[in-house]
Structures are given as C-alpha cells and as structure tokens.
Amino acid sequence: MSEPISALNHTSYEGIAKVEECGLQGMITLRGDLSDKVLAKAVKDATGQKVPGQREVLVSGDTGVCWMSTDELLILVPYAEVGAKLAAMTNALSGIHALAVNVSDARAVFRITGPCAREVLGKVAPVDLSSEAFQPGQIRRSRLAQVAGAFWMDDAETFRVVCFRSAADYVFKLLKAAAQSGSEVGVY
C-alpha cells in the first residue's frame, strides 16, 4: 500500500497560538440508538470508553469517542487500526439497526495550542469560549467562519478542530489569520 497522506501533511503556523494539521486520524461515524447496549459494547471495545452524554467527549490521544448528535458518535482510533476496528464494530453491530462508516480520509484535524487558543477559535466560531462556558470534555459542532466544524479541548490550552478534508486549506488559512501575531484579544 502506498503511504497515505493527510490533507495538509502536518502544515503548521505559530502566531499568538500554534496551529497545526495533526496528520491522519482514524475516524468512524457511528449512527444508531445511543442507549442500545450492543452499541455501547461496540464503542467500549473499540475505544475503551462508554457512550458519552450530550456534547461530551471522552478522548485520550488518538483514541476516544465524541457525541455528535442524538444518534451519532464519532469514534477516534489510531489511523492504522481503523480498518480492523471498523470490521469488528460492523460485526458487533450486525444484529441491530446501526451504521458505522470510515470517515478518516473525509476529514482534516487541526490542533490549536497556547494561552490564546480560546481567542483564536473565538474569532471564527459563534460560540462562548470562556472557561465558564467551555471546558475540556465538551464538544461543540458549529461553523468556522464559512464552513462546518467541530472542536473540543484536550486541555486548558489545547483545542482539536475537525473539518471536512476539502475545506482543510481554507480552515488552515483561516486559523492562521486568526492567530496572526499581535492579534491577542486579551479576554481569556
């Protein structure tokens, strides 16, 4: 197999925060009844995590699970393992009405790091990003200026941002503009 390449191949920029494309991340969209025990077991087997509550993420490194909607989860697994994990999951879910598909290559993932990370994202997403309102463990699907995106915090100064692969170039340039030097807002 030839070497897979992520949308921007780890491009990065450093201004008031560091913005970098994270490279390939294994991702599975899972749709189904989130209260179903079979589904919960499949999630546990794939990620070691329980089914998250509303707008909750349970992620450690490149493995975990994000709540996307009332009947949709985003499963994160190491890129190299996505085929095997998907096959196991599909097999486990065969008896119930559910859909699991590989979307690893359909997405791009960015990391925003630094004390101004909240401010960088606050320039492009219409979301209250104060620490009172948004904390590690929460996920928000919203828009990043003109495209759809989702983000969560890995720690107090780190966001991970997911968008469609075709918009990766736009989102990187957007975050780069938002992180330009001298543009600290000074509120968070």
Sites of contact with another protein (CB under 8 A): 1-7, 24, 29, 31-32, 54-55, 68-72, 97-99, 101-107, 119, 122-130, 132-133, 140-143, 145-148, 164-170, 173-174, 177-178, 180-185, 187
Nearest distance from C-beta of residue 170 to another protein, angstroms: 4
* Cα distance between residue 14 and residue 176, in whole Å: 8
Output 81 or 169, the one with its CB closest to another protein: 169
Pick the closest to residue 113 from 63, 179, 181 (CA basis). Answer: 179
Report whether 110 contacts 171 (CB < 8 A): yes
* Cα distance between residue 30 and residue 33, in whole Å: 10
**What letter would DSSP give residue 175?**
H
Nearest distance from C-beta of residue 109 to another protein, angstroms: 12
Output 60 or 131, the one with its CB closest to another protein: 131
Nearest distance from C-beta of residue 107 to another protein, angstroms: 8
* Cα distance between residue 188 and residue 186, in whole Å: 6
